[in-house]
Amino acid sequence: MRYDSHTKIHPVVPSGDAIPEPGPEVFTAQQHLSGAEILLRSLQAEGVKIIFGHPGGAVIKIYDEMARTTPDFQHILVRHEQGGTHAAEGYAKATGKVGTVLVTSGPGATNTVTGIADAYMDSVPIVVFTGQVPTGLIGNDAFQECDAVGITRSITKHSYLVRDVKDLARTVKEAYHIARTGRPGPVLVDLPKDVLLAKAPFHYPTSVDIRGYTVPGTGRPDKIQRAARMIMASERPLLYVGGGAISCDATALLRSIAQRTRIPVTTTLHGLGAFPEEDPLSLRMLGMHGTWWANQAVQHSDLIVAVGARFDDRVTGKLDSWAPHANIVHIEIDQSCISKNVFADCAILGDAHLVLKQLDPLLKRKDTDAWLAQIEEWRQECPLEYEQDEKLRAQGVIEMLRDKTRGNAVVLTDVGQHQMWTAQYFRFLHPRTHITSGGLGTMGFGMPASMGAAFGLREMGSDMPVVCISGDGGFVMNAQEMSVAAAHKLPIKLAVINNRFLGMVRQWQELFHAERYSHTDLSDTNPDFVKLAEAHHCVGLCAKTNQQAIDIIDEAWTVHDRPVLMEFQVAKEEMVFPMVPAGAATGDMITQRIVPNSFV
Amino acid sequence: MSASLVLTPQQIKRKKAAGEPIEPNEGELIRQHTIMVLVENSIGSLIRVVNMFAARGFNVDSITVGPTADETISRMHVVTTGNERIIAQILRQLSRLVDTIEVSDLTETNYVERELCLIKVRYDARSRAEIMDVNTVFRGKVVDITPRTFTFELTGPTPKIDAFIDMMRNHNILEVARSGRVAMQRHQIPS
């Protein structure tokens, strides 16, 4: 039995609210379907093309239905549910669509928790379907039972426990709507087994009506006027751009406004790619490991225009000395982010793209030459640099990868030193080409997320290479997904920056804990990465010198039918600079020139 | 933003730099607020609201909940303590929940607030008259009487309930049950 053989399912535009009117013949076939079948049909109606999942007892009916019928989406069997959630995140970030995860009850659900929390912190739209024991057994400590909705309550944008099969289709519709709109985020749908077995007529709703949920659109006109006046009156303006600009698709407009008004742009970690980093107006990243000149600009600016950014502590450092001279205009889609950490003198609640569209005609070219010249001086004063010698260094590897791809790659990272070096040295040019775990800081994010991104690019017909830059600490945390990527012939380039240490913790230990390297040395417990890759049906390569590094990168780019793991054995003593120590004032950056004597 | 809004450290610094005066009460103004929340009538929605307070470390002094005239909507009253900045943050976090339909801080409006209290007190021949006198002054109702105990029902603003219980402390209080506060904005006659 094929889905389209007896009931015509009207295609739903996956990205917007503009849903075509259903034709008169649609949904006339009112035969009763099982919950499992309703779920699969709802996913198709929602335009889902790929699901990352792992079967189990509570969801066996859904998997049976997948085998019995032939849904027109792909199911990717991941090897750990955490990998599945990160893959869904990578897919969502690379494509702008909602990622989908399907897991069983109990441990299946708890294994998704880290991925859900990660998606919550980084505003990634994913929907996680968890199996649940039959409604009659809920609360009985049944086999593989856990309170998935309860456990994830504070890390989901919203969650549902479906108690009646009649509510299932509507719930799926709402879940995708909530995940995708406003500030995106994870939604969990818990599916008791009896609901999946029960039958009901199938009708996929064409619209969503949630009375407590409104999606901010355009900004209030008076606030727009006020913001425009503040921008035009400022002398040292600065655009501070976060991931919200990318998720609202505001980057093209942002670029044209910045270039026309001559206002310099600094981005957060998640904002990387929102503004081309090779543009002279780009100050690159700000914050703890941002550039000296971006942070100096913040400290001297008289007007900061925040676009889709949330004044995270890694950006501001010590709050009371951050941007002491600046008025703040905050363009933000999530009301709870407004004036949370830093008071917004002019807060505009709305969609960044729509708000910038309103602002655009009110802004004229500004004379910022003196301000830009001052920033240029800071740029010369303390450029991003590292020691250039025969030693293989992480920063050098990242520059080699940049040169190989000329910035035309989707780059994913794990968490730690390599993540910051990637942010500093890769120079991102396009939105959705930098994907990382920023808010939660999840080691083990990179590998499975790069798999999700690679599936996403394949779906979009893009041949952009997917490069995952990891450390030796994080990579092993989800290395099992390599064999999944290999099975699907994804040509991911996996760069493992191996310094045989938990590098970022080591850096803090060296700088702030008197070089007591407590449990950060991994040399005894690291696997042989080349063999690890080969065991997972991938190509494994290793480089210890600069020349070898160039060679293995060239070799890796000749492999098109499976992932290639490139291990780069780099110096362990390297540290990420410049740096604002946690809790310190942004003005008190440690730059490379005044590194402590202990630096080797 | 109201003048009494508590300033962030960054604002205080900015004001100082500009040579503007900083009002003494701008540093801290911590007081109780009664927040009314209309939510979807389901146990999940109720938990989500309560959980938000716990997960983000906000105070909860009292919570009441009950259905409204529309049985699909529950009305909650949360009494919480904090400075203006924290309260503003609580209001935004509450509004952000998918299940909340309306959120308002009644403290900023002209409103009535009531609490109900049941209190069981032991009496004897000597104390009986005095206990009844106190009850008369507070206009409480006797809802149960036994040869040894009175059970009173008292409604009123929280300070009145507090005062009544304080008066009864001179006697033998066996049990106290308080409902928590419910509140309603007075009807605004358009001018």
For chain A, list the domains and their CATH numbers.
3-201 (3.40.50.970), 221-381 (3.40.50.1220), 394-577 (3.40.50.970)
Which ranges constitute the DSSP H helices of A275-351?
292-300, 313-316
- Which ipTM was obtained for this model? 0.86
Q: Inform me whether the C-beta atom of residue B189 falls under 8 Å from chain A C-beta atoms.
A: no
Kindly state the tokens that stand for A554: 């060239």
A3 CB-near residues (< 8 Å, 6+ apart): A9, A40, A41, A44, A69, A70, A71, A72
Percent above pLDDT 70 for chain B: 88
User: Does one domain contain both B104 and B13?
Assistant: yes
**Catalytic residue chosen out of the listed positions A93, A193, A223, A493:** A193
User: Does one domain contain both B102 and B31?
Assistant: yes
Kindly state the tokens that stand for A119: 């998606």
Say if CB A398 and CB A553 are below 8 A apart.
Answer: no
Residue B24, judged by CB atoms within 10 A of its CB (0-12, 13-18, 19+), counts as: exposed
User: Does one domain contain both B99 and B150?
Assistant: no
Q: State pLDDT tens for residues B41-87.
A: 988 999 999 999 999 999 899 999 999 999 999 999 999 999 888 89
A279 CB-near residues (< 8 Å, 6+ apart): A255, A259, A265
User: Does one domain contain both B100 and B120?
Assistant: no
In the predicted structure, residue B4 carries a pLDDT above the cut 80: no
Is residue B8 very low, low, confident or very high in pLDDT (cuts 50, 70, 90)?
low
Whether residue A193 lies in the annotated active site: yes
User: Does one domain contain both B161 and B97?
Assistant: no
User: Does one domain contain both B58 and B18?
Assistant: yes
Q: Worst-scoring range by mean pLDDT, A35-49, A164-178, A585-599?
A: A585-599
Q: Inform me whether the C-beta atom of residue B68 falls under 8 Å from chain A C-beta atoms.
A: no
Among residues B52, B74, B108, the one where a domain terminates is: B108
Average pLDDT over residues A474-478: 97
Q: Inform me whether the C-beta atom of residue A154 falls under 8 Å from chain B C-beta atoms.
A: yes
Q: State pLDDT tens for residues A244-266.
A: 999 999 999 999 999 999 999 99
Is B158 inside any structural domain?
yes
In the numeric block, the tokens 């502590």 are attached to A313
Of B153 and A8, the structure prediction assigns the larger pLDDT to B153
DSSP state of B139: T
User: Does one domain contain both B26 and B72?
Assistant: yes
In the predicted structure, residue B151 carries a pLDDT above the cut 50: yes
One-letter amino acid at B84 equals: E
CB-nearest partner of B48 from A153, A339, A343: A153
CA A393/CA A247 separation, integer angstroms: 33
Query: Between chains, do B13 and A210 touch, taking CB under 8 Å as contact?
Result: no
Q: What is the 3-state secondary structure (H, E, C) of A562-596?
A: CCEEEEEECCCCCCCCCECCCCCECCCCECHHHCC
Distance from the Cα of A583 to chain B's closest Cα (Å) equals 14
In the predicted structure, residue B125 carries a pLDDT above the cut 70: yes
Is B190 inside any structural domain?
no
Closest-approach residue (CA) in chain A for B7:
A343
Is residue A339 very low, low, confident or very high in pLDDT (cuts 50, 70, 90)?
confident
CA A550/CA A529 separation, integer angstroms: 18
Is B1 inside any structural domain?
no
Mean pLDDT value across chain A = 93
Give the domain extent around B25: 9-108
Q: Inform me whether the C-beta atom of residue B163 falls under 8 Å from chain A C-beta atoms.
A: no
Say if CB B61 and CB B81 are below 8 A apart.
Answer: yes
Query: Between chains, do B12 and A323 touch, taking CB under 8 Å as contact?
Result: no
Distance from the Cα of A19 to chain B's closest Cα (Å) equals 22
Residue A370, judged by CB atoms within 10 A of its CB (0-12, 13-18, 19+), counts as: exposed
Is B2 inside any structural domain?
no
CB-nearest partner of A178 from B85, B93, B98: B98
| Phi, psi of A85, rounded to the nearest 5 degrees | -70, -40
Which residue, A346, A323, A331, A299, is CA-closest to B9?
Answer: A323
Four-residue CA torsion sign, A48, A54, A55, A56: negative
User: Does one domain contain both B87 and B172?
Assistant: no
In the predicted structure, residue B18 carries a pLDDT above the cut 90: no
Q: Which residues of A touch B55 (CB under 8 A)?
A: 153-154
Is B168 inside any structural domain?
yes
Kindly state the tokens that stand for B107: 């403290």
Question: How does DSSP assign A122-173, residue by residue?
Answer: TT--EEEEEEE--GGGTTS--TT---HHHHTGGGSSEEEE--SGGGHHHHHH
Say if CB A475 and CB A407 are below 8 A apart.
Answer: no
Residue B29, judged by CB atoms within 10 A of its CB (0-12, 13-18, 19+), counts as: middle
CATH number, domain containing residue B77: 3.30.70.260
Question: How does DSSP assign A162-194, residue by residue?
Answer: --SGGGHHHHHHHHHHHHHSSS--EEEEEEEHH
CA distances from B11 to A301, A342, A424, A566 (A): 15, 8, 31, 49
User: Does one domain contain both B95 and B170?
Assistant: no
Say if CB A593 and CB A578 are below 8 A apart.
Answer: no
CA B92/CA A594 separation, integer angstroms: 43
**Catalytic residue chosen out of the listed positions A8, A73, A144, A572:** A144
Among residues B75, B108, B141, the one where a domain terminates is: B108
End-to-end CA distance of chain A: 68
pLDDT value of residue B26: 54
Query: Between chains, do A343 and B10 touch, taking CB under 8 Å as contact?
Result: yes
Among residues B63, B83, B108, the one where a domain terminates is: B108
Q: Inform me whether the C-beta atom of residue A158 falls under 8 Å from chain B C-beta atoms.
A: yes
Q: Inform me whether the C-beta atom of residue A173 falls under 8 Å from chain B C-beta atoms.
A: no
User: Does one domain contain both B84 and B138?
Assistant: no
Q: A421-442 as b/e, with b when 16 or more CB fall inside 10 Å?
A: bbbbbbbbbbbbbbbbbbbbbb
CA B53/CA B47 separation, integer angstroms: 10
User: Does one domain contain both B99 and B164?
Assistant: no
Say if CB A584 and CB A317 are below 8 A apart.
Answer: yes
How many distinct structural domains can be found in chain B?
2
Q: State pLDDT tens for residues A317-326.
A: 988 889 989 9
User: Does one domain contain both B63 and B49?
Assistant: yes
The SS3 of residue B58 is coil
CATH number, domain containing residue B177: 3.30.70.1150
Is B170 inside any structural domain?
yes
